[in-house]
Structure 1
């Protein structure tokens, strides 16, 4: 895992503006601190799938994936990898502490943690891709509960199926919020044909007004 400065700046709301030295210094400090206190852990399991009228069923589990968007995302997939990652509770504690004592640092620290968990997801996705290729399969990009019309309330059942608390210390509350908060779950399809994986994951998201949305410059570079 590493923290991409550009990604952290995006979560801070920067879009190519100049930064003063104090912000630069605070960003560097927060990157170092997030890396120091994170207790990263992850898991993933791979399931066969079957299509039912109500949604996609992961065989051997109680998980039924409802929604047109997740169905389209996993269309043609033979298997589905389900992943969960977390940075651990200390990151949450630091964010809460700085929110009470040093708001500017809380905002920067939170942005760095968001970039860190995204990096951890990329690492786990790479492991899933390697395993898929060993089976002669290619992978889709990852898709998380809450994207599009994929209900976020699947999180609690997903946590039970993956045993995330026992394996990672990751739980889900009654509002479908994961604890630790800097955690992610996602679904990745495995299929025979080559998959087109979008570098800019924001392009497939319907929330066009999102303040964290990645933009692309005239040269096709994500900014």
Structure 2
């Protein structure tokens, strides 16, 4: 399903992804970000596919303690796959060869745009489930904490991501197009939060470039 592009790509989060959290861009930098956003708006074709399933349908046993905690108390799951489309990958590769500063800006903003597309969809799904008196956790992606990337295969298959969103999984369990994501959300008959994002459980915490800069990749609200 085609998804709308949000009215504005979050600049503050984009700057944090670029290692410039809290920085106020000067006129030249603001113009660079404007160019990056314009190119993304001209290129991105956000799509998403999702499916609601009984938890027992997916092979979720022995997929790490973090995922087990995330789904604690949930009897259903929602599998979700979203992408900005292959043209964004083409754009980023071209910019990497012609304008590295613009490429870095566009890459960060594309990641933020994908998150915003998922956030809006998640809120719609959350609202729909509330009408059934059902509750939704946040998104949990393979590769987070101790959850293996291999789970991308099962999520994509369950969601039929190739036909539904044009997203495939490589032999290394990575997603194509690059600016794509998968997620698992738990569904329960009582309020649930799942596992909140944080450095303490991230498998990249020892090598994370954000931590080296004294910041994080997730929002602290």
TM-score bin (small chain): 0.7 to 0.9
Q: Deviations over 1:151-194 (max 9, x none)?
A: 10121232222211111111111111111110111011111222
The within-5 A match list for 1:19-38 is: 19-38=25-44
Q: Contact (CA 8 Å) 2:138, 2:185: kept in 1 or not?
A: yes
Aligned CA RMSD, in angstroms, stands at 2.1
Structure 2 gaps, min length 5: 211-215
Match of 2:213 in 1: none
Q: Identify the residue that residue 111 of structure 1 maps to in structure 2.
A: 108
**Poorly superposed stretches of 4+, deviation over 4 Å:** none
Could you tell me how far 1:203 is from its partner in structure 2?
5.8
Q: How much has 1:211 moved relative to structure 2?
A: 3.3
Q: Secondary structure at the match of 1:141?
A: coil
Q: Across the two proteins, how many residue pairs are aligned to each other?
A: 207
**Structure 1: gaps of 5 or more residues:** 51-58
* Matching residue of 1:176: 173
* Cα displacement string for residues 187-206 of structure 1 (whole angstroms, at most 9, x for unaligned residues): 111112222478x7336643
Q: What secondary structure does 1:81 align onto?
A: strand
Deviation at 1:138, TM superposition (A): 1.1
- State the alpha-carbon separation in 1 of the partners of residues 218 and 163 from structure 2: 39
Matched, 1:11 2:17: yes
**TM-score, normalized by length of structure 2?**
0.85
Give the TM-score normalised by structure 1. Answer: 0.84
CA contact (8 A) 1:82 1:188 kept: yes
Helix, strand or coil: the match of 2:97? helix
More strand by share: 1
